[in-house]
Structure 1
């Protein structure tokens, strides 16, 4: 075989091998997950250690997140509308997910630790679902944890200065079984759309 023919044969073989590897890489690549009701982080963000207190008085730390999916929702007990409405929605959402074989824990993060004691948190969240949990912390740990999740909150005094309310982020934050932030879901929340998104994310990341 002439030298030029051998060179051409080798070149074709190399090109075929490269194309084969590229095709295999494409076929083995995990499918891209897209969601409609929020923002999915293509690179989940690992949470560092933190120290909160659960509604039963027990510590709630990074280890508490391992092995299951958790949806965090920031709020406060005396919130007049957004918090109870969202928790009622989450009750329906988790029931729907459970019927589809998907377990999702819900953690209500109180941004009002002065008034929302663990005992009050337990009574409040269990009214919506006995499996929901409430967590909080004293400052500055609460502010640190809120920053980790991307939560903003602030105290708003009443006009007479005798009481106050809280402004806070209304987003829902999904954390995966490795303790990494996986997605953010922003209102308004639609049951069927968000349920389908969560199933896709949880199944796709298993």
Structure 2
């Protein structure tokens, strides 16, 4: 009787230990598979994962003189392109591509916003910004408000630009990034779309990144 009881007392902790080991092994395998799955998916071109950048609060002005802050980026997918209205090539080409992209996804337009952020506060008055973005699409947003205001946004995103010296006609060029920065509806920077830009390429990249982000939620 005592021998049987002793055996049972020995078996109980053994069974418990084995059960814990089996559960732990299963959890480890599942975790490993999930990590491998994320590693594969995170190879999507332009995707910032698993560490999307979270912005601190900022405040700039839109083309109507209204305050534009992080709150205005919540609830929508935001595409931000930094440029200037006097740009002779990169900006009008990119904005034209974004206009075609926006029209193609017009059914999702309430969840999308295209933002043109100026890096030339001297010439890009709010009135000029309004005319410029409206030319490509009335829904597009133009951001300005001066160098100090804009630095609260450019410094966080990591946008570098250089204003060249004026020529004899008081004209000048601004060297700037040709990339488009993508933010999810939580206001996180989740991707960077690098040139050359085409409507098809942007749609494909956006669709892959969007689907991946939604899979993680």
Q: What TM bracket, shorter-length normalisation?
A: 0.7 to 0.9
Bigger share in strand = 1
User: Larger Cα Rg: Structure 1 or Structure 2?
Assistant: 2
Q: TM-score, normalised by structure 2?
A: 0.82
- Following superposition, the deviation at residue 68 of structure 1 comes to 0.9
- Give structure 1 regions of 4+ aligned residues with deviation exceeding 4 angstroms: 1-8, 23-31, 99-102
Match of 1:116 in 2: 124
The count of aligned residue pairs is 206
Which has the higher relative contact order, 1 or 2, with Cα contacts under 8 A spaced 6 or more apart? 1
Aligned to 2:212: 204
Contact 2:44 2:209 in 1 (8 A): no
The Cα of 1:144 is off from its aligned counterpart by: 3.2
1:85-122 alpha-carbon deviations (Å, 9 max, x no partner): 00011111122233578832110001111111111111
Structure 2 contact 97–198 (Cα < 8 Å) conserved? no
| 1:18 counterpart (10, 24, 27) | 24
Specify whether residues 35 and 196 from structure 1 end up closer, same or farther in structure 2 by C-alpha distance, changes over 3 A only: farther
Q: TM-score, normalised by structure 1?
A: 0.86
Q: Say whether 1:193 aligns with 2:198.
A: no
Q: How large is the Cα RMSD of the aligned pairs?
A: 2.7
Higher helix share: 2
Structure 1: segments with no counterpart, 5+ residues = none
**Pair 1:176-2:184 in alignment:** yes
